[in-house]
Amino acid sequence: MWPDDDHPRSGLAAPPQGSAAGGAATPDPRRPLGGARALLASVALAALCGCATVSKPVDAMPPAATAVVAPAAEATSAAPVLAPVSAETQAQFDRALQAQRAGRSDDAERQWRALAQAHPELGGAHANLGLLHRQAGRYADAVAALEHAVQASPTQPRFFNELGIAYRANGQFAKAQQAYERALALDANHAPALLNLGILHDLYLGNGAKALELYERYLALASGGDAAVTKWAADLRQRKPAPLAALNTQVAKSGKEDKP
């Protein structure tokens, strides 16, 4: 756990074990990765989702945790100094975290709302409120809360990763891609964002080559390995490109379906 995990500007709670961490169910078990232990769980990607399942706060989350990975800059230098908050504000933040980790979603949501309204500059409050909205299937609300989170804390890759998951769940694939890429611009080795962007390209954007590249980058960081993602990568390597004629037919078909 990194030193600033529970700081109101950067702390992010993971849903309690057994809870759904957000994202509409899809035929393919692959889910986005978010939250703290997401990168080490093979089926937990969010532990966030395709032909296998990932778990963590992005689409599926493991037990209570806080942050996923620290920004790249923090890996080689001292963590950035976060603006101080009052003891009472920190105590309110800690109580909300405890409620969320204990599965008291209604109580946690009430506390996060109050904290976010009183201190709109605290990214962690908005981010955790966004997680609760996503768990409840309120994807538009999740997007709004997480957009506030990245505005308040624009250097937190974990918040952009969570925003990408919310966009994906809300059907906003282009924005999801931008959010994941922003997370990676902040930390090129942010494993959850690598995996979630790979899943997005694989399942939603139809770019197998890019998905394979991202899966391989993610696997290079997964010290314990990840059987599910290894299988997805193998499937992509064996997948034959669709004939040009078939692609043209599909494009034409998609164009017709998009017309009113």
Q: What is the pLDDT of residues 28-52, one digit of tens each?
A: 446 566 643 232 222 222 222 222 2
Q: Which domains does the chain have, with CATH numbers?
A: 37-67+93-243 (1.25.40.10)
Amino acid symbol at 147 = E
Q: What pLDDT is stored for residue 242 in this prediction?
A: 58
pLDDT tens-digit map of 180-223 = 999 999 999 999 999 999 999 999 999 999 999 999 999 999 98
DSSP-assigned beta bridge partners for residue 45:
47
The model's pTM is 0.70
- The DSSP code for 240 is P
Residue 9's pLDDT is what?
63
**Residues in the chain, pLDDT under 50:** 1-4, 15-29, 35-79, 253-260
SS3 at position 206: coil
Written as one letter, the residue type at 2 is W
- Say how far apart CA 95 and CA 104 lie, in whole Å: 11
**Residues 6 or more apart whose Cβ sits within 8 Å of residue 80:** 73, 74, 155
Cβ atoms 126, 152 nearer than 8 A: yes
Q: Which two tokens stand for residue 255?
A: 């164009």
pLDDT of 53 reads: 25
Q: What six digits make up the tokens of 241?
A: 């490109």
pLDDT of residue 85: 79
What is the Cα–Cα distance from 135 to 142, expressed in whole angstroms? 9
Residues whose CB is less than 8 angstroms from the CB of residue 149 and which lie 6 or more positions away in sequence, other chains included: 123, 124, 126, 127, 130, 156, 159, 162, 163
Distance CA 120, CA 149 (A): 9
pLDDT at 147 (0 to 100): 98
3-state SS, residue 25: coil
Predicted pLDDT at 239: 85
**Residue written as tokens 């991202």?**
214
